[in-house]
Amino acid sequence: MTDQAAPDKTSDEKSNKELKKERRRTPPPDPEALIPLIDSHTHLAACGGRDAESVRKILDHAEAVGVRAVVTVADDIIDARWAVDAARWDSRAYAAVALHPTHAHQLDDATKAELEEMLTDPRVVSVGETGLDYYWPGKSDDCATVPQQHEAFAWHIDLAKRIGKPLMIHNREADRDLLDVLEREGAPETVIMHCFSGDERVAAECVERGYLLSFAGTVSFKNSTVLQAAARLVPDDQLLIETDAPFLTPHPYRGQPNQSYVLPYTARALAEVRGQAPEALAQSVTKNAIRAYGLDLQL
């Protein structure tokens, strides 16, 4: 009897790995248009927006599926300078500037002065993203300590109140401390919980305080039942939607590159979670974004 050749498992494994790598590099297909939408938190620079032309192409792509405007968000002072430039290059882009909590140790007097000056620009519509991140301290040598984060967060809260612009919050594994700092310092009139990730208890407290809760592609993930339950608690007038691109691409494209044009997928997923028509959700979250950020847009 002739021996049969054993399957080449090594070859198959390599093939599967290459397919997975290729998928991670492949952008999702264009969604069906959903009008109107505003991406309340994205990172245009990290999405390939290197100059005015590349920013225009990203925003053209988004507008083709109903995303009329975006807020591009800074992580550090270099990113903040770029975000302001992007908002000047294209009228569909607005900027948010601050130091991400992991960069809180970089908040010296010169940086404070520069951020304050940036926030006088009408194209800069929010102080953000700021807050607390308890995931990275101890895992990265170049990450602010928890005390440094608390100090910088308090400064950003005060800045938002003095400037009169919304405060955009980053929260990772710091629910109770973050809410306590906001209560102790006194929150500004408008607080946006970017990429909300808490449970029903945290959502209920944020809603009671009048904060806006912004949901990203994570709300579409099959294992996000706790987050989905929280999303159902949020009143229509306290709801926002975002991509956080290039991160958090929604199901079924999780792990693939994200951009603002992908937002309708998340909008439809969130509408399904909340038992709403996607068109009704799009109208409400867009009105909320225009009101919260003071955008010069008409529906």
* Higher local confidence (pLDDT), 5 or 33: 33
Share of the chain above pLDDT 90, in %: 88
Q: Count of CB atoms within 10 A of residue 161's CB? A: 16
Q: Count of CB atoms within 10 A of residue 2's CB? A: 4
Residue type present at position 164: G
Tell whether 242 is covered by a domain: yes
Question: Whole-angstrom distance between the N-terminal and C-terminal Cα of the chain?
Answer: 76
As a whole number of angstroms, the distance between CA 172 and CA 133 comes to 5
Whole-model pTM: value is 0.93
- Domain residues for 47? 34-293
Q: Residue 130's beta-bridge partner residues?
A: 169
Domain with residue 269: its CATH number is 3.20.20.140
Tell whether 283 is covered by a domain: yes
pLDDT category of residue 140 using cuts at 50, 70 and 90: confident
Tell whether 2 is covered by a domain: no
Q: What is the mean pLDDT of the chain?
A: 94
Encoding tokens for residue 83?
């975000």
User: What digits encode the pLDDT tens for the residues 97-122?
Assistant: 999 999 999 999 999 999 999 999 99
* Higher local confidence (pLDDT), 104 or 19: 104
Question: Which of 202, 198, 136, 193 minimizes the C-alpha distance to 167?
Answer: 193
Domain count, the chain: 1
Tell whether 15 is covered by a domain: no
Q: Do the beta carbons of residue 158 and residue 182 sit within 8 Å? A: no
> Which residue bears the tokens 């050749």?
5
SS3 category, 175? helix
Tell whether 3 is covered by a domain: no
Tell whether 215 is covered by a domain: yes
Helix (DSSP H) and strand (DSSP E) numbers for the chain:
10, 8
Tell whether 184 is covered by a domain: yes
pLDDT category of residue 277 using cuts at 50, 70 and 90: very high
Mean pLDDT of 145-165: 98
Tell whether 109 is covered by a domain: yes
Encoding tokens for residue 90?
């294209």
pLDDT category of residue 6 using cuts at 50, 70 and 90: low
Mean pLDDT of 132-151: 93
